Amino acid sequence: MRAFASVIQDRCVACGSCVKVCPLGAISVWRGVMAVVDTGRCVGCGKCKQECPAGAITIEKRGETA
Ligand code: SF4
Ligand code: SF4
């Protein structure tokens, strides 16, 4: 089962830490407001989650409701 990162919009402070650590360029900060994940690229490695100071990222399993 593959996984992908998901951003909790209300928690994200748009610091950009996740963007710096993602090895695949799968996460970006949209209009300086919040992080967004390209789920087509993201492999769910969890590096962005580890770096997020706001606890705004969760790792979801594809095909499952979480
Ligand atoms: S889970 Fe990994 S691949 Fe996906 S956005 Fe985060 S750092 Fe990038
Ligand atoms: S590291 Fe967390 S708070 Fe910072 S931009 Fe990414 S999701 Fe938002």
User: What residue's CA is closest to ligand 2, atom 5?
Assistant: 14
User: What residue's CA is closest to ligand 1, atom 1?
Assistant: 44
H or E element, residue 59: strand 57-61
pLDDT at residue number 65: 52
pLDDT, tens only, 1-40: 789 999 999 999 999 999 999 999 999 999 999 999 999 9
pTM to 2 decimal places: 0.92
User: What residue's CA is closest to ligand 1, atom 7?
Assistant: 22
E strand segments, 1-44: 3-7, 27-30, 34-37
In this structure, the residues whose C-beta lies within 6 A of any atom of ligand 2 are: 7, 12-18, 29, 35, 51-52, 54, 56-57
Q: Which residue segments constitute the domains of the chain, with CATH numbers given?
A: 3-61 (3.30.70.20)
